[in-house]
């Protein structure tokens, strides 16, 4: 109740500032290299920053070129491409939980990549491109094997140019896990990497999402589509999953025990969360990597974020006090989502100077 009341108060404060903010719309806004992130005064709090940005900030639509990679195990992976000028770098994005190339952050980044003349691609995890995958297995937060497959495929399409990788939320954890496992070998594929709002400690994130306001707002929304996919798998592969228990689940702990752990070889949710968290592997990352986590991210307690002594020299931590989860809104009302793609491209461009 306290969390909901605080959110309502923040919403009232945001509304109270709209009149003044609207007056600022007519003023020209210079877009330069992004300064260290600070949320606009009219949009306070991690929940409001997260929800408002994902639902109300407009980003361009994108026309992608779809490519399907058939896998040796009988499954497939879909890639949505933005084609740039010959010889220009390629930016590959790994989306978050139940995300896709249509997610606002994917469209926003790919729009910026295209405007630069670079190549961009959103690599979809299995079952996230608008069509269920064929196998019982799905995707999960530690799927570094599929990260490797997708990076090798992208590199094969652009073998002579720099490849920059971005992972968002779940995709960020999977990418960081791959980077830590690969160590120096990662540089054979990736020149620089970035992770945005990654749940580096999945146990901390899982219990945070299963509590209070988070459980009724964020977790309930994710479970709507996750449970629907799992129930289709249960119907397609009889005896594999407990459909009745899945339908009744209301937490990530229940769902990950019933589905994610069962499909991918873990004992239960706790075993899964512990074994795939990327935080312990950050000391082994050798490729220059930017890790951005807002300290008011409702999905990830700031107490679980790593400090400089917990990461390799190649890892650059940015932990602004505000920003929410994959949000980082900026500018006068109604706001924009410019800061994040600008920061990412600035970081990637540094390798070309």
CA–CA distance, 237 with 234 (Å, rounded to integer)? 5
List, by residue number, the catalytic residues: 169, 297, 325
Q: Which residues pair with 223 in a beta bridge?
A: none
- Walk me through the domains of the chain, giving residue ranges and CATH numbers: 2-20+34-201+277-352 (3.40.50.1820)
Q: Does the pLDDT of residue 73 top 50, yes or no? A: yes
| pLDDT over threshold 80, residue 325 | yes
Mean pLDDT of the chain: 92
CB 45 within 8 A of CB 9: no
Q: What is the pLDDT of residues 43-71, one digit of tens each?
A: 999 999 999 999 999 999 999 999 999 99
Q: How confident is the model at residue 23 (pLDDT cuts 50, 70, 90)?
A: very low
Does the structure show a pLDDT above 60 at 19? no
Contact 17, 24 (CB under 8 A): no
Is pLDDT of 31 > 60?
Answer: no
Is the CB of residue 318 less than 8 Å from the CB of residue 325? no
For the cut 90, the answer to whether the pLDDT of residue 14 exceeds it is no
pLDDT digits (tens, 9 = 90+) for 254-289: 999 999 999 999 999 999 999 999 999 999 999 999
Task: Give mean pLDDT, residues 334-342.
Answer: 97
CB of 137 closer than 8 Å to CB of 264: yes
For residue 330, list its beta bridge partners. 336
**Cβ partners under 8 Å of residue 84, min gap 6:** 90, 113, 114, 116, 117, 118, 119, 120
State yes or no: pLDDT of 146 exceeds 70. yes
Q: What is the 3-state secondary structure (H, E, C) of the chain?
A: CHHHHHHHHHHHHHHHCHHHHHHHCCCCCCCCCCCCCCCCCCCCCHHHHHHHHHHHCCCCCCCCEEEEEECCCCCEEEEEEECCCCCCCEEEEECCCCCCCCCHHHHHHHHHHHHCCCEEEEECCCCCCCCCCCCCCCCCCCCHHHHHHHHHHHHHHCCCCCEEEEEECHHHHHHHHHHHHHHHHHHHCCCEEEEECCCCCHHHHHHHHCCHHHHHHHHHHHHHHHHHHHHHHHHHCCCCCCHHHHHHCCCHHHHHHHHHHHHHCCCCHHHHHHHHCCHHHHHHCCCCEEEECCCCCCCCCHHHCCCHHHCCCCEEEECCCCCCCCCCCECCCCCECCHHHHHHHHHHHHHHC
**Bridging pattern class, strands 289-292 and 315-318:** parallel
Q: Which candidate, 143, 302, 274, 305, places its Cα nearest to that of 203?
A: 274
Instruction: Tell me: pLDDT of 29 over 60.
Output: no
What are 106-140's pLDDT values in tens digits?
999 999 999 999 999 999 999 999 999 999 999 99
pLDDT at residue 318 is higher than 50: yes
* pLDDT > 90? residue 27: no
pLDDT value, residue 7: 56
Of the candidates 9, 48, 41, 112, which has an alpha carbon nearest to the alpha carbon of residue 332?
A: 41
Structure tokens at 207: 């219990």
C-alpha distances in Å from residue 173, one per residue of 34, 206, 275, 296: 24, 13, 12, 18
Contact (Cβ atoms closer than 8 angstroms) between residue 261 and residue 245: no
C-alpha distances (whole Å) from 222 to each of 96, 210, 276 are: 11, 12, 20
């Amino acid at each position: 109740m306290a969390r909901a009341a605080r959110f309502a108060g923040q919403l009232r404060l945001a509304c109270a500032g709209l009149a003044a903010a609207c007056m600022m719309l007519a003023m020209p806004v210079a877009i330069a290299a992004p300064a260290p992130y600070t949320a606009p005064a009219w949009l306070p709090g991690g929940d409001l920053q997260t929800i408002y940005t994902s639902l109300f900030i407009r980003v361009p639509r994108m026309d992608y070129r779809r490519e399907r990679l058939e896998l040796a195990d009988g499954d497939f992976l879909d890639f949505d491409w933005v084609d740039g000028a010959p010889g220009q770098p390629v930016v590959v994005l790994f989306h978050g939980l139940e995300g896709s190339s249509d997610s606002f952050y994917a469209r926003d980044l790919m729009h910026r990549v295209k405007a630069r003349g670079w190549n961009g691609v959103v690599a979809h995890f299995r079952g996230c491109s608008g069509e269920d995958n064929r196998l019982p297995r799905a995707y999960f937060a530690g799927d570094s094997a599929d990260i490797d497959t997708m990076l090798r495929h992208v590199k094969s399409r652009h073998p002579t140019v720099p490849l920059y990788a971005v992972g968002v939320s779940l995709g960020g954890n999977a990418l960081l896990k791959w980077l830590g496992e690969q160590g120096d070998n990662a540089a054979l594929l990736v020149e620089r990497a970035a992770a945005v709002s990654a749940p580096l400690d999945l146990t901390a994130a899982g219990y945070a999402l299963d509590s209070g306001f988070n459980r009724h707002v964020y977790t309930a929304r994710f479970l709507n589509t996750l449970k629907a996919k799992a129930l289709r798998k249960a119907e397609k592969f009889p005896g594999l999953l407990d459909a009745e228990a899945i339908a009744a689940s209301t937490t990530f702990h229940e769902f990950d025990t019933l589905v994610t752990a069962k499909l991918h070889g873990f004992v239960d949710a706790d075993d899964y969360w512990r074994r795939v968290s990327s935080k312990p592997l950050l000391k082994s990352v050798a490729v220059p990597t930017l890790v951005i986590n807002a300290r008011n991210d409702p999905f990830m307690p700031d107490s679980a974020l790593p400090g400089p002594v917990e990461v390799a020299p190649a890892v650059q931590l940015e932990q602004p006090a505000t920003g929410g989860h994959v949000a980082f809104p900026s500018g006068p009302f109604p706001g924009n989502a410019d800061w994040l793609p600008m920061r990412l491209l600035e970081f990637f461009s540094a390798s070309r100077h």
